[in-house]
Amino acid sequence: MKPEYVDLVQWDKVRNQIDSDFGAGVTKRLLGTLVPVSLPRAKGISFYLVPSGWLQILDRDFKPFTPLSLGMWLGDFVDGMFRLSLPALERVQEYTSNRLIVSRRGAESFTYGRSILKESVIKIEPSLLRGQRVFILNESSECLGLAALSVDAYKIGRLAKDRLVAKNLVDIGWYIRRLG
């Protein structure tokens, strides 16, 4: 297993998914001068962005070592779905208006892996629709992770305070929980 140049068909799928979730051209802005490379996994493929100057290093055979990650982790393609990584999320959120700002209590709860309830919602872009990916931000506009809206944003005002608004997909508490 070694890093490979990305397969163009697969890369198209990744790009389409990022752009459809967060807006046209987001992938291009994320890439900048970096180059996407992939690492095959037991399940699926991981994508990374590396400086073009690294391609020389990546051409070598890493034996007897096994490469596990390199550069900026963009995300993983598993079961036909691309999931953006936590490090990439923070960068992507700069380029999109898909944002849900939550209260201090909601933010804390979200970083423990919980989802967002109506009572935690401070502000959301009203045009967002059910199923859309939204970045969860605290009141200081710090990105805490990604969630899927479970209701159209313009309907949130009608919900009871304990109703689910956005389902947690990934949050920065994962860094800590992952280590047990």
Residues that bind other proteins in the complex, under the rule CB under 8 A: 49, 54, 57, 60, 62-73, 85-87, 107, 111, 138, 142, 144, 172-173, 175-176, 178-179
Q: Which is nearer to other proteins, 57 or 81 (CB)?
A: 57
Residue 163 CB, nearest distance to other proteins (Å)? 26
Q: For residues 123 and 138, what is the distance between their CA atoms, to the nearest angstrom?
A: 10
H or E element in which residue 45 lies: strand 45-51
Q: Which is nearer to other proteins, 25 or 67 (CB)?
A: 67
Residue 64 CB, nearest distance to other proteins (Å)? 5
Residue 84 CB, nearest distance to other proteins (Å)? 12
Three-class secondary structure of residue 37 per DSSP:
strand
27 near 15, Cβ under 8 Å?
Answer: yes
Q: Which is nearer to other proteins, 63 or 158 (CB)?
A: 63
Q: For residues 23 and 79, what is the distance between their CA atoms, to the nearest angstrom?
A: 23
Q: For residues 162 and 127, what is the distance between their CA atoms, to the nearest angstrom?
A: 22
Q: Which is nearer to other proteins, 11 or 174 (CB)?
A: 174
Other CB atoms within a 10 A radius of the CB of residue 46 amount to: 20
Residue 175 CB, nearest distance to other proteins (Å)? 4
